[in-house]
Amino acid sequence: MATIKYTIHTFHRPPLISEQQYNSIKKNLQETPNYIPFPIEGFFKKFMKPILFFIIGTPIAIILSESGVGLFELIAGLFLLIAIGALFSLIPEWISYLSFLAKRGKYYRGLLSNLKKSNDYLHFRELML
């Protein structure tokens, strides 16, 4: 029986930021409201190559399969088989990464919200518990 291999992305809550990091982030947020202290690679940036593979390759494969030339039909058929096989590993990985992004985003939105609400580091620590 065939096995489908894919990467599972799991968010693990990191240790609480230090007082120095707290002060630095708080200062940067006051100076620059659009400051992003915890950047991450987005979904489309991370999976740009496979997405482009499907967006560009599928229409080309369909055009080649309709050409009536045997070699082109064979190439299109091979591409479509590879694409369908790749989807079996990509879709679970994409779902896993979207879940990771959602959990990470929820944690850091809460952290930033508590950071903005807090008066000092000790108050921030209490809010994060």
Residue 10 in contact with residue 100, Cβ under 8 Å?
A: yes
Supply the DSSP symbol for 78: H
Closest CA to 42 of 84, 110, 101, 90: 101
Q: In this structure, which amino acid lies at residue 120?
A: D
The pLDDT, as a whole number, for residue 1 is 64
- What is the mean pLDDT for each group of 10 consecutive residues in the chain (129 residues)? 82 95 93 89 91 90 85 89 88 94 95 93 93
pLDDT of residue 7: 87
Domains of the chain by residue range: 49-128
Considering only the C-alpha atoms of the chain, give the largest distance between any 2 of them, rounded to a whole number of Å: 72
pLDDT on residue 5: 83
